[in-house]
Amino acid sequence: MSKIVLHLYIAGQTPRAERAISTLRRMIEQELAGYECELTIIDVLADPQQAENQKILATPTLIKSSPPP
Amino acid sequence: MCADQIERLPTGITGFDHIANGGLPKGRTTLVSGTAGSAKTVFAAQFLAAGIKRGEPGVFVTFEETPEALRRNMLGFGWDIARWEAEGKWAFVDVSPQPEEELVELGSYDLGALLARIEHAVRSIGAIRLSMDSLGAIFTRLNDSRVVRNELLRIVSTLRRLGVTAVLTAERTQEYGEIARYGVEEFVSDDVVILRNLLEDEKRRRTVEILKFRGTSHQKGSFPFTVIPGEGIHVIPLSAIELKQRSSSVRTTSGNAELDRMCGGGFFRDSIVLVSGATGTGKTLMATTFMAAGVRQNERSLLFAFEESRDQLFRNAIGWGIDFEQMERDGLLRVICNYPEVTSLEDQLIFMKAEIDRFRPQRVAVDSLSALERVATIKGFREFVIGLTSFIKHQEMAGLYTATTPTLLGGSSITEAHISTITDSIILLRYVELFGEMRRGLTVLKMRGSSHDKDIREFTIDSRGMHIGRPFRNISGILSGQFTHIAPSEIDRLSAMFRDDEGDEPARDTAPTN
Please tell me the CATH code under which domain B8-100+109-239 is placed. Answer: 3.40.50.300
Residue type, A3: K
Which CATH class, in words, describes the domain spanning B251-489? alpha beta
Chain A residue with CA closest to B108: the answer is: A16
- Quickly state the pLDDT bin for B245 (edges 50, 70, 90): low
Nearest to B459 by CA among B441, B435, B444: B441
Cα–Cα distance, B57 to B367 (Å, whole number) = 46
Closest CA to B238 of B214, B254, B221, B252: B221
The three-class DSSP label of residue B316 is helix
The alpha-carbon gap from A51 to the nearest alpha carbon of chain B, in Å, equals 7
pLDDT of residue B1: 38
| CB-based contact B109 A45, cutoff 8 Å | no
- Identify the top-confidence range among B273-277, B414-418, B499-503: B273-277
Give chain A's domain count: 1
pLDDT at B341 over 80: yes
Whether B8-100+109-239 and B251-489 share one fold: the answer is yes
Which among B112, B121, B142 has CB closest to A59?
Answer: B112
Of B480, B477, B458, B483, which is closest to residue B410 (Cα–Cα)? B480
* Local confidence band at A36 (pLDDT 50, 70, 90 cut-offs): confident
Is the pTM higher than 0.80? The answer reads no
Q: Do B112 and A48 touch (CB under 8 A)?
A: no
What is the percentage of chain B residues whose pLDDT exceeds 70? 90
Q: What does the domain layout of chain B look like in residue ranges?
A: 8-100+109-239, 251-489
Mind telling me how many Å the CA of B376 is from chain A's nearest CA? 46
- From B64, B171, B373, B383, active-site residue: B64
pLDDT tens track for B405-418: 877 766 666 566 66
CB contacts under 8 A, A 6-65 vs B, are 9-12, 14, 16, 20, 44-45, 48-49, 51-52, 55-61
- What residue of A is the nearest CA neighbor of B66? A55
pLDDT band at B287 (very low <50, low <70, confident <90, very high): very high
Nearest Cα to A59, choosing from A38, A44, A40, A46?
A44
The pLDDT of residue A34: 81
Contacts of B331 (CB under 8 A, 6+ apart): B300
Geometric angle at alpha carbon B100, from B38 and B60, rounded to 5°:
40
pLDDT value of position B415: 61
Model-level ipTM above the cut of 0.85? yes
Residue B370: strand, helix, or coil: helix
- Look at residue B499 in the predicted model and tell me its pLDDT: 63
Residue B507 predicted with pLDDT over 70: no
Instruction: Note the pLDDT tens digit of each residue in B439-448.
Output: 899 989 888 8
pLDDT in tens, B361-391: 999 999 988 888 888 887 788 888 888 888 8
Please provide the average confidence, as pLDDT, over all residues in chain B.
84
Residue B59: predicted pLDDT? 96
Among candidate residues B412, B421, B441, the one with its CA nearest the CA of residue B281 = B441
Closest CA to B478 of B435, B423, B452, B441: B441
Tell if the CB–CB gap between B113 and A16 is shorter than 8 Å: no
- B202 in catalytic set: no
| Segment (H or E) for A64 | strand A61-66
In this model, does residue B503 exceed pLDDT 60?
A: no
Tell me the helix, strand and coil percentages in chain B, rounded to 5.
35, 25, 40
What residues of A are in contact with residue B132 (Cβ under 8 Å)?
none
* Residues of B whose CB is below 8 A from A59: 109-113
How many Å apart are CA B208 and CA B225, to the nearest integer?
7
Evaluate if residue B286 carries a pLDDT over 90: yes
Residue B505 has a pLDDT of 43
The pLDDT-based confidence of B271 (bands split at 50, 70, 90) is confident
pLDDT at B12 over 70: yes
- Give the amino acid at B227: V
What confidence score (pLDDT) does residue B205 get?
83
Of the ranges A1-10, B274-283, B479-488, which one carries the lowest mean pLDDT score?
Answer: B479-488
* Span B167-212, pLDDT tens digits: 999 888 777 777 777 766 666 668 899 999 888 777 778 889 998 8
Please tell me which residue in B307, B373, B383, B458 is annotated as part of the active site: B307
Q: What domain range is A33 assigned to?
A: 4-66
| pLDDT tens per residue, range B43-84 | 999 999 999 999 999 999 999 899 999 999 999 999 999 999
Higher pLDDT, B213 or B92: B92
pLDDT for B342-369, tens place per residue? 888 888 888 898 899 899 999 999 998 8
Higher-confidence position of B130 and B247: B130
Q: What is the pLDDT of residue B259?
A: 92
Contact A57 B108 (CB under 8 A): no
* Nearest of B192, B187, B227 to residue B210 by alpha carbon: B192
What's the confidence (pLDDT) of residue B78? 92
Which among B93, B108, B112 is the nearest to A11, CB-wise?
B112
Min Cα separation A63/chain B (Å)? 10
Which residues of chain B neighbour A64 with C-beta distances below 8 Å? Answer: none
Q: Is the pLDDT of residue B4 over 60?
A: no
- Provide the CATH number for the domain around residue A33: 3.40.30.10
pLDDT at B498: 67
The candidate with the shortest Cα–Cα distance to B187, out of B250, B145, B227, B222, is B145
Q: Which residue of A has its CA nearest to B117?
A: A48
What is the rounded average pLDDT of the residues A41-55?
A: 89
Residue B307: active-site member: yes
